[in-house]
Amino acid sequence: MPNLTGLTRGGNEWTPAFITELNQGECIGCGRCFKVCSRDVFELIERDEELIDDDDFGDDDFYADDDDFSDDTLMVMSLKNVMDCIGCEACYRVCSKKCIKHAPLAA
């Protein structure tokens, strides 16, 4: 079955790839995907304790005190409105952990 495709302004064929998964176990809650997304697809939430891997958070200097959260609160990105994803994959390109997965949509 063919994938949904469109055309760029220059007339080239383009296949959007939509968000299928966000691995919260890998996410560091940096907010880069949230900042780059113009569609309100993401939200920052408190991380469940079961997702915390102590090896990922061994460097105490990693978390600066420039946010409004207590030092005990670890944050993680969540999919808020995945149906508004336009398939641009900008979130994947800025994610340092590559914890967001995308796939084309069958037409």
Domains of the chain: 6-104 (3.30.70.20)
Closest CA to 91 of 36, 42, 40: 36
Residue 62's pLDDT band (cuts 50, 70, 90): very low
pLDDT digits (tens, 9 = 90+) for 49-61: 665 555 554 444 4
Tokens of 54: 């102590």
Coil, strand or helix: which one is 105? coil
pTM of the model: 0.73
In the chain, the amino acid numbered 33 is: C
Q: What is the pLDDT of residues 4-30, one digit of tens each?
A: 999 999 999 999 999 999 999 999 999
